[in-house]
Amino acid sequence: MGPLLSLPRSPLPSLVREGPNYRPRRPERTAFYKLFEGRLLEYLRAHEERFEPRDGPLRPVVKESVEAFLECGRLTSGLARVRCPECRGEHLLAFSCRTRNFCPS
Ligand SMILES: [Zn+2]
């Protein structure tokens, strides 16, 4: 993957091209992602009702980390256009959240 070339004005997922050297990560298709996406609010509610009286409120970093993870690697959450020096193809590269102990990228 080469250096950053430019930032497009808006996300254009249709420009994503898979090639021999590039395959978008598509985190939203993983079971791990779907688990957090589908259950985050339910978990936060359950924690508040069942565990908060005994253990205190959830630390804000928990919700923040999961929310960052759900945005991580998704073109709709920010991207750069890059050119591969080998195949000369242009690709859209989604930003990573870099959340400590949680980011899969
Ligand atoms: Zn991440």
Q: Give backbone dihedrals phi and psi of 5, rounded to 5 degrees, phi first.
A: -100, -55
Question: Counting beta carbons within 10 angstroms of the beta carbon of residue 79, is it exposed (0 to 12), middle (13 to 18) or buried (19 or more)?
Answer: buried
Question: Counting beta carbons within 10 angstroms of the beta carbon of residue 3, is it exposed (0 to 12), middle (13 to 18) or buried (19 or more)?
Answer: exposed
For ligand 1, the distance from its centroid to the CA atom of residue 71, given in whole angstroms, is: 8
Q: Is the pTM of this model over 0.95?
A: no
- Give pLDDT tens digits for 67-105: 999 999 988 888 898 888 888 888 888 899 988 877 877
For ligand 1, the distance from its centroid to the CA atom of residue 104, given in whole angstroms, is: 5
For ligand 1, the distance from its centroid to the CA atom of residue 54, given in whole angstroms, is: 31
pLDDT at residue 27 tops 60: yes
